[in-house]
Amino acid sequence: MAVHVVDHPLAKHLVNSLRDRTTRPEAFRQMSRTLSTMLVFEATRGIRCDSRVVETPLAETVGDFLGQGLAVVPVLRAGLAMLESALILFPDVAVGYIGLERDHNTAVAHSYYCKLPNLADRFTLCVDPMLATGGSASQAVALLKANGAKPVVFVSVISAPEGIERLQRDHPDVEIYTAAVDDRLNELKYIVPGLGDFGDRLYGTM
């Protein structure tokens, strides 16, 4: 399905501020929260609404209200940076966690943790700031689908063409929301120009 690039001027400003190697962890965290809020807002446009009667101080009218809950599943650990935005925006949020760790030699991820809520009838977001090779994203989405998630939307800060291609090939029904599509992966499977290791920069563990 479609790749949606959130290209609002503020989103562009935030992405490039995150890229800056001189950005300190505290500023990195704040900008990540703001950008994640923008991404989650856009990625949830397809959430179901139900209509019901509302009585205002002046009249009776019919209005739309959220008709289903949201499930947000960050891929640990960097995906945690995107969780708070969904918790602030939505009144009914169930949270799960998927732990996938990439082998730096093979670039293949292995699962070390998976804890998911009941995903039935919830609009499900899988969030991971960096969509690089697409291997971790594809594994995470497969786990969500196996546990009843439908639909699943993938949300990232920065994406590589290789990761988008892999996720679309493995899960053509999953829409992707991102703030930037970068040039390529380097020989170490890092996104170029990218912003380095998101988790390390977020938590100051470089």
Q: Which positions are catalytic?
A: 102, 106, 197, 200
Estimate to the nearest angstrom the gap between the alpha carbon of 29 and the chain centroid: 15
Say how far apart CA 121 and CA 71 lie, in whole Å. Answer: 9
Q: How far is CA 20 from the centre of its chain?
A: 21
Whether the bond between 172 and the residue before it is cis, its omega within 30 degrees of 0, is no
CB 102 within 8 A of CB 126: no
- Alpha-carbon span 106 to 18, nearest angstrom: 27
d(CA 144, CA 161) in angstroms, rounded, equals: 23
**Contact by Cβ (8 Å): 191, 158:** yes
CA distance 106 to 103: 5
Strands 70-76 and 60-66 come out as unpaired
CA distance 44 to 4: 12
